[in-house]
A = this chain, B = another copy of it.
Amino acid sequence: MAIRTGEHTGPTSGISGDKVQANLAILPKEYAFDFLLFAMRNNKPVPIIEVLEAGEFVSKYAKNSDIRTDVPLYNIYKHGELTETVSDITKYWRDDFVTFLIGCSFTFEQAILDAGINIKHIDEERNVAMYKTNIETVPAGIFSGETVVSMRPFKKDLVDKVTSITNEFPGMHGGPVHAGNPADIGIENINIPDYGDAIEIAPDEVPVFWACGVTPQNVVLNAKPEILISHAPGHMFITDINNEEYKD
């Protein structure tokens, strides 16, 4: 309600308890088949939670919701360029808009914390570090490009544990796509993330990489569609579903 009324326009990390948060992508219906096919072919970076058909704005996963007002901040991109950041998209709404809600790593982060393992960027109150990689997605229609990953450093002896915890959430990016040398997946400088905040990796820590929900945003912008509306990074749609329901 605080988000709907515009009272809360900040990031949603840590404010939704055990509720699933979702990435958002809104596109005109003419792009919807290509996008859904892209998601099906790239389930790890683009796990679909729900599709609202053309013109629909109520999510069945959040009571009395309105997708036009219930995300704290929206980015509006036209022909691949960010044109506006707003807290309400009601006046931009079109009857041909199809909405995709996409799984978010906040779900498995909660499971890692619940196992008593600290996550460094959360302790330091920063955004997670995200990088473009050389891991190609499987193209679909007008959409193609590289996978974006999020990175969290863990002590060597915890890597197997966080791998198995996150493997249990196949609908929320699942297990890591890589652990170890960033250059192996085309990341030249680990100190300069493409999105989010840099985080120090201690000598006894290993960088662990997960497919990231920024991938579809990145891939859609490559295609320069007439319009894309997404959440501003970190400013997610909060559902009524418990994280545990997405455990395999």
Contacts and interface: CB of A to CB of B under 8 A. Distances in A.
Interface string A25-38: 00001001100110
Contacts of A36: 33, 36-37, 40
Contacts of A141: 53-54
Interface residues of A, number: 13
Contacts of A40: 36, 40, 48, 51
A217 B17 CA distance: 44
A242 B79 CA distance: 44
A33 B51 CA distance: 11
- What is the copy number of this chain in the assembly? 2
A53 B141 CA distance: 7
A51 B40 CA distance: 10
A39 to B, nearest CB: 9
A227 B190 CA distance: 53
A140 interface: yes
A102 to B, nearest CB: 13
Interface string A47-64: 010010110000000000
A207 B7 CA distance: 58
A140 B48 CA distance: 15
A217 to B, nearest CB: 20
Contact of A29 (B33, B53, B54, B140): B33
Contacts of A54: 141
A32 B141 CA distance: 12
A140 B53 contact: yes
Interface string A123-144: 0000000000000000011000
16 contacts: A29-B33, A32-B33, A33-B33, A33-B36, A33-B98, A36-B36, A36-B37, A36-B40, A37-B51, A37-B53, A40-B40, A40-B48, A40-B51, A53-B140, A53-B141, A54-B141
The 4 A-B residue pairs with the shortest CB-CB distance in the complex, in nearest-first order = A33-B33, A32-B33, A36-B36, A37-B51
Given A32-B33, A33-B33, A54-B141, 13 more contacts: A29-B33, A33-B36, A33-B98, A36-B36, A36-B37, A36-B40, A37-B51, A37-B53, A40-B40, A40-B48, A40-B51, A53-B140, A53-B141
